[in-house]
Structure 1
């Protein structure tokens, strides 16, 4: 469906985009950083398919899952708790080096961003990725110029699925609940949008812990962002 269909045949004035799994397939970089970290800790690498199922709640939970070896990492073992801070610091160092090396922009993304820009839509990236990694990744992917604002997982005191990052971005870009849309790939994105009172589009190709997005309650589900045009 067209994005205009969510707003009574008008295009949104503000569009908020998740990053990992929505705009960019960054799992190869994340997996490489996770596996290097695990190997530095004397553990077996997890592999990209496993890491794809762990992405979406920010770097600290990603590393919690990597240490536990599963998505349902609570309660963490005492050994995992003792390792966590060192593991997270190692991961940040490794990801700083690997960020953008293997990531790619998903098909349909650039056409969507360009069309929204042409229609005067103001856009922001609202992600749970630490802010220090967001701009470098967008720049390496060649899409940073489309966005007027970045809200990372550590920009505010809360992150998705809390609605505050979405509300902060909407207000900063002078949007309203009647003119703003959230576009993401996971339960965190849909839940945040619902709590913020704005419509949400979910993509099927991203990172939703290996589960289908069809049952999340998004206002629309698409296989490519080009479908929104």
Structure 2
């Protein structure tokens, strides 16, 4: 499925990309920070495979899930609530050290970004990750020069699946609903794109809490971003 096929054989003028699970496999970095935090709190580490199932809704929910030991963390226990702020402080300190140290760019990402850039497409990262961690990760992995804008989970007052981040990025890059596409890996990305009124591509290899992306209602589903070319 070529991206041009979503716009009547025209390439998109603006492309919005999720980060974790779409451009970058950052689970190893996040797992290192989560496990270090849990150990500092006197708890057993979760391990990378478990952390992969928890990523996608931002750091606070990631830490809620880590404290509860499951995806469906609500309602949090009183003990977990009391620990939460301390856990977040520890996690952010730990993640500053691990951010970009073990992460890797997914196959097909760089050729996709290079091709879109060569066609004049304006690109942004739209992620639920706190903004302070996004630029260092992109720089560490050599991707920062592709993006004219970064919208983090705390850039605005709301984040995906709310469409506000996507609309803000689209407007900032002077896109429109007829020229902008969202590319992500989870239900939050697809839901945000639908609410924003723009087409969405979902990748199969990312973080969707162990659920298939085929049922999310994306306009296209791909195994690699290179398929979009």
TM-score under structure 2 length normalisation: 1.00
Deviations 1:111-170 (A, max 9, x none): 000000000000000000000000000000001000000000000000000000000000
* 2:41 counterpart residue number: 41
Structure 2 counterpart of 1:148? 148
Partner residue, 1:95: 95
How is 1:21-170 mapped onto 2 (pairs within 5 angstroms)? 21-170=21-170
**Secondary structure of residue in 2 paired with 1:214:** helix
Q: Distance in 2 between the 1:30 and 1:212 partners?
A: 22
> Matched residue of 1:125: which SS?
strand
CA RMSD of aligned residues (A): 0.2
Are 1:226 and 2:229 an aligned pair?
Answer: no
Rounded to whole Å, the distance in 1 between the matches of 2:188 and 2:141 is 24
1:85, distance to aligned residue in structure 2 (A): 0.2
Measure, in 2, the Cα distance between the counterparts of 1:187 and 1:43: 30
Runs of 4+ in structure 1 off by over 6 angstroms are none
Shift of 1:8: 0.0
SS in 2 for 1:46: coil
Note the residue ranges of structure 1 that are not aligned, 5 or more in a row: none
Aligned residues: 229
- Structure 1 CA distance for aligned equivalents of residues 89 and 159 of structure 2: 20
**Where does structure 2 lack aligned partners over 5 or more consecutive residues?**
none
Alignment partner of 2:213: what SS? Answer: coil
Name the CA distance, whole Å, in 2 between partners of 1:145 and 1:79. Answer: 44
Aligned partner of residue 181 in structure 2, secondary structure: strand
